[in-house]
Structure 1
């Protein structure tokens, strides 16, 4: 029958609290058996494998509510999933290596041991930006849009000039300011201001998207209210900004 674990034993083995194990069970991600003698939870080897996959997905930044469709069922699917996890971990390692190198060179520059060009500083930052986004959203984005689209986006980010990056950041700030003002003033997102903000957002996307479509724009906007991470970004000053932006894009994106 194979080795089985009580909840406390699995918690000690995995480094995850018993409370977290019960939470994953309530979320439908784990389904332990029960000991017929006392009714206690009993975890088999396949439960341990499933927990490992859950923890890897969580480490890669996947929200608990989004994990279930990503969990594998067959050995081949599990192998493919683990290969994706490995890619994510290697990307994270590369990000740390890049950041370490940048910090080391910056310290050396401050000590007068070398001179870093603006291009070197900026290149390290861009790579850190891409790798951080891969760590936080990469698996979900690749599952939704495909590897080719995400790789093309990453190439666009890495190809940005310093001027392009500054303009991209300025557009983001303009969008946030416009959203805050519109929500505070109770302006309708379906009107002229909504069209203006939608166009600003389209311009902002043009710096990272290889091509544009209104359908994809509207789909992205839906994620701003469906994903709490995006909502928190847009609503950090005034609640309702993410929903207003979604509604403006839904009304005006073509």
Structure 2
């Protein structure tokens, strides 16, 4: 943010991970990307956060890199313990916006909201996150019928569309893109990555034909398994929680780990590389 409250366009701050349909693996990829940045935290002076809009109760999820000299002292213990809770986030919002903001973040503290939020709630959460974190990964979910998902995609500097390379996923992506103009979402900032790729799946040129989006790569194109180092914790977490199969988790992590150098090479000078770049 600039001193006048506007965003510095030279420093993108938000990457939204979005899937055209449920099951595309946005949570896995968003967490894996965040983990990659966490592993590189010694090279960065910025704070890194992960926000989850993939549920009806959006919150700031645990983790992340911190430069303790740029953070309020009373938040340090929670950040260090990787436990930045919704309550702490709400209290921080009050500091920024004043007590009247409680009615907007009240869903965190007041059960009568029951997880239903309006766009202003999400915007305040996003603004608060940007006060805490200079780089924010958003798990925007897989559907467009939640206000939070739409808001996240509108506010993002870049949208990473995670999808399976098949006809159904392409149709869902095509449908989602058709809604973007009316929702105020810029489709020019979207890039596609496959969460897995097999020989019997559709070829990239077929999958992306007729869609005004950029294809970033398939699993086979995105490197070697040595890139898994530093993200293996997610495999154990996924298996333990039975969230998804080992194979799906592995594929999603591989894509997330391997896409970084590919994106830097293919989109040099554009938004996404600057998102991952070192900061002075």
- Normalised to the residue count of structure 1, the TM-score between the two structures is 0.29
Greater share of strand: 2
Give the number of the structure whose alpha-carbon radius of gyration is greater: 1
Instruction: Pick the structure with more helix per residue.
Output: 1
TM-score by length of 2: 0.28
